[in-house]
Amino acid sequence: MTSCQVTFEVKGSSAAGEVFAICGSCSALGNWNPQAAVVLQPGDVTLEKTWKATVELPRGVPVQYRYFKGYFLEPRTIDGPCEVIVHTWETHLQPRSITPLENEITVDDGHFGICNGIETVDAGWLTCQTEIRLRLHYSEKPPVLISKKKFKTSRFRVKLTLEGLEKDDDEEGQEKTSPTVPQKMANTVEFSLISDDDYKCRHSQPDCGYALQPDRWIEYTIQTMEPDNLELIFDFFEEDLGEKVVQDDVLPGHVGSACLLSSTIAELGKSAGILTLAIMSRNPRKTIGKVRVDYIIIKPIQGYTCDMQASYAKYWKPRTTLDVGHRGAGNSTTTAKLAKVQENTIASLKSAASHGAAYVEFDVHLSKDHVPIVYHDLTCCMAMKKKLDTEPLELFEIAVKELTFDQLQLLKLAHVTALKVKDHNASFKEEENSACETQPFPSLQRVLESVSKDVGFNIEIKWISQQRDGQWDGNLSTYFDMNLFLDIILKTVLMNAGGRRIVFSSFHADICTMIRHKQNKYPVLFLTQGESKLYPELMDLRSRTTPIAINFAQFENLLGINVHSEDLLRNPAFIKRAISKGLVIFSWGDDANDPDNRKKLREYGVHGLIYDRIYDSNPEQPNIFQVEQLERLKKELPELKSCVCPSVSHFKSIAPCKCHHSYLEEKAVDNLKSVQMQKD
């Protein structure tokens, strides 16, 4: 096959050491792998640099591509590839494309991030670097305690300083080289404030830092290639209670300092935790108090490389409110009116899908042997007697994480509500005779394989949360390692989802943060109960109100939030506020089971409604995605315009369309499915 010389040009500004690169659908452009992307060379410097690269591409073969900017770092091994850090990349639903036909072509793509007049870029994900998050907040107690009496009523400000490693002469000289020469990554720090009112992100801080306040979450984000070789200094300043807290005000008196070595976190071997550091006065050098530092460590997914072919992390097509089946066909254990199919089973998910659910929502966590399973609660009940034993059963509650996948499939298990029932045998009768698809604890992989690809999945990632009274979910104060836990679940989805629409969600803010930064393909919704009379208040400050949840979602660049219907019906202005911030908003809760409340929430403009027993409201019918697909199909196959069969006939193999175009229709549907996600 003959080839063409194609020169790609794009304009854009870059930070020191940052370069532009191009990544695309052919081997010459890395097959969508940023690790194998082509680095562009800087051209003439005007207001913005023009970056260029010439690539040999096969003649007449369509090629898709995207630009990104970031760092190409020194290889970890002598002959190894460069490490690539993506700072910003183009995420248009349809990538740029070209079909080269001439011997030499120059493609001027204008400005980075702008394609067909629309700017669409997103922040990168973790490829090889580690992200350390340090937080100071009043969720449980004041983070700073100074023992001296003179400071008992004082308010403090805190400043974080990242001490860099000393550079040798070779490293100093490297900074003066061409920006396309592999660099060493400089450690970066971002300072963030989150509250009910607003959020702020800065790359600098006032001389005396930021004030610690009960309603404020202070977060420091450090990205580094050497996560166990950093020194972080917290400096504390007293502030007069009579003074207004403003940025860049007069420097108050220095009280003391605390030092954190990142190797301390590495030695603990945990992805998340709390450290208590001693605060030392400067003169004389002695301990005067302590600071409580909350931390998480976010690492790239192990054993999987994200590509640049597609990203839906910030994409949402405007539509009418979507119906989402809660735990599939509905709650079958704890609500007033129970679903007729056991929740979170394949049968339940299929039932909701067949009644027009655009998405089905279900809960995922891990078995003891690290198999992702679908089940709502973190605990279940186990019978002491064998299934065939006619004597009264003795039950005890056990954490799901203490049972292997095979045990979950074979053992006699029941929901924890069985503990409140006198006849324990009755809790198991239905399970013993149920079909395979109605059995609890299906694996996530089997669910991905068994449920129609036309229905989207809203996958809620379960994690232990602490209530403000100190109690933990399921009485579990310890759980899996967060990085390991998420890597297993994310890889299962990324490797098996195919073209299915996926939205992740979680009540745990750090889970949402980690999912967003570990992968670049699927969106995340932050689940929150807001202010509720039905549920106990959570310890995490970020989970307590809908306004702070909105600001947290913006801060983490999430797709949006999923709010308890009780809070939204009481405060519909929250919906407008979220939408005005560019967020998608879903609603969940028992109130949404009432048709009148659903009507209100639709009128208020929520994007998705999660509710039980969708079969009570909808007849058996295709969902909105299938209807849209059929409309596209009719445009591509004019013969179908005359078809008078119900829409559902086109999506049920047991009752195919009775018109004479069934074969053409089936073939066209297969062709359309391959581009369905691109169009939707």
Per-residue pLDDT tens over the stretch 351-368: 999 999 999 999 999 999
pTM listed for this prediction: 0.90
Identify the CA nearest to 328 among candidates 465, 442, 491, 464.
Answer: 442
- Say what the pLDDT of residue 43 is: 84
235 pairs with which residues across the strands? 159, 257
304 vs 677 pLDDT, higher one: 304
Contacts of 25-33 spanning 24+ positions with Cβ under 8 A: 25/63, 25/64, 25/65, 25/95, 25/309, 26/57, 26/58, 26/61, 26/63, 28/55, 28/56, 28/57, 29/55, 29/63, 29/65, 31/307, 32/307, 32/308, 32/309, 33/305, 33/307, 33/308
Please check the confidence at residue 516 and state whether its pLDDT lies above 90: yes
- Residues 223, 224, 228, 230: is their CA dihedral positive or negative? negative
Q: Quick one: pLDDT at residue 61?
A: 96
Model pLDDT, residue 383? 73
Checking if the pLDDT of 655 tops 60, the result is: no
**Could you tell me the two tokens for 266?**
């590495």
With residue 179 as reference, give the H or E element that holds it.
none
Task: Quote the DSSP letter at residue 183.
Answer: B
The helix or strand, by DSSP H or E, that contains position 570, with its residue range, turns out to be helix 565-570
What pLDDT, on a 0 to 100 scale, did the predictor assign at position 396?
84
Cα–Cα distance measured from residue 6 to residue 96, given in angstroms and rounded to the nearest whole number: 14
- Give pLDDT tens digits for 196-242: 999 999 889 998 899 999 999 999 999 999 999 999 999 999 876 44
Q: 271-280, 312-321, 376-385: which range is least confident on average?
A: 376-385
User: 496-511, pLDDT tens digit by residue?
Assistant: 999 999 999 999 999 9
**Band (479; pLDDT cuts 50, 70, 90):** very high
Q: What is the crossing angle of helices 573-580 and 546-555, to 10°?
A: 10
Rounded mean pLDDT of 374-378? Answer: 96
Mean pLDDT of 150-157: 86
* DSSP 3-state of 541: helix
Contacts of 518 (CB under 8 A, 6+ apart): 125, 126, 298, 299, 300, 301, 486, 487, 490
pLDDT the model gives residue 381:
86
Residue 587 has pLDDT above 50, yes or no: yes
pLDDT for the residue numbered 652: 56
Query: Helix or strand or coil: residue 400?
Result: helix
Q: CB of 237 within 8 A of CB of 255?
A: yes
Of 650 and 274, the one with more pLDDT: 274
Dist CA 610 CA 591 (whole Å): 10
| 521 alpha carbon, distance to own chain's centre | 9
pLDDT at residue 631 in the model: 87
Indicate the pLDDT class of residue 642, thresholds 50, 70 and 90. low
pLDDT, greater one: 673 or 27: 27
- The pLDDT score that the predictor gives to residue 284 is 80
Q: Quick one: average pLDDT of 443-464? A: 97
Cα distances from 223 to residues 220, 416, 494, in angstroms, run 10, 42, 24
Reading the block at residue 20, the tokens are: 């532009």
pLDDT at site 653: 47
Place of tokens 């279900």: 362
Q: Name the phi and psi angles at 161, rounded to 5.
A: -120, 130
Q: What pLDDT score was predicted for residue 241? A: 45
276 Cβ contact list (under 8 Å, min separation 6)? 290, 291, 292, 293
How do residues 396-420 score in pLDDT, each as one tens digit? 899 999 999 999 998 777 766 655 6
Amino acid at 256: G
Q: Which amino acid is at 169?
A: D
Sign of the C-alpha dihedral, residues 482, 488, 493, 494? Answer: positive
More confident residue, 650 or 263: 263
Q: Please give the Cα distance from 450 to 444 (Å, whole number).
A: 10
- What pLDDT, on the 0 to 100 scale, is given for residue 34? 97
Contact 504, 523 (CB under 8 A): yes
Residue 169 has pLDDT above 90, yes or no: no
Give the distance, in angstroms, between the CA of residue 401 and the centroid of all CA atoms in the same chain.
22
CA torsion sign, 42 to 44 to 46 to 52?
Answer: negative
Q: Dihedral sign for Cα 147, 150, 151, 152, please.
A: positive
Q: Which amino acid is at 342?
A: Q
Lowest mean pLDDT, pick from 82-91, 132-141, 160-169:
160-169
**Section 150-177 average pLDDT:** 68
- Confidence bin at 181 (pLDDT 50/70/90): low
> Residue 174's pLDDT is what?
46
- What is the length of the chain? 680
Provide, rounded to the nearest whole percent, the portion of the chain with pLDDT above 90.
72
Which residues, 6 or more positions from 580, have their beta carbon under 8 angstroms from its beta carbon? none
Distance CA 36, CA 431 (A): 52
Mean pLDDT of the chain: 88
Supply the pLDDT for residue 151.
84
Question: What confidence tier does 59 reach under pLDDT thresholds 50, 70, 90?
Answer: very high
My answer on whether omega of the bond before 284 falls inside 30° of 0, hence cis, is yes
Where is 431: in which H helix or E strand? helix 426-432
Q: Quick check: 101 pLDDT over 50?
A: yes
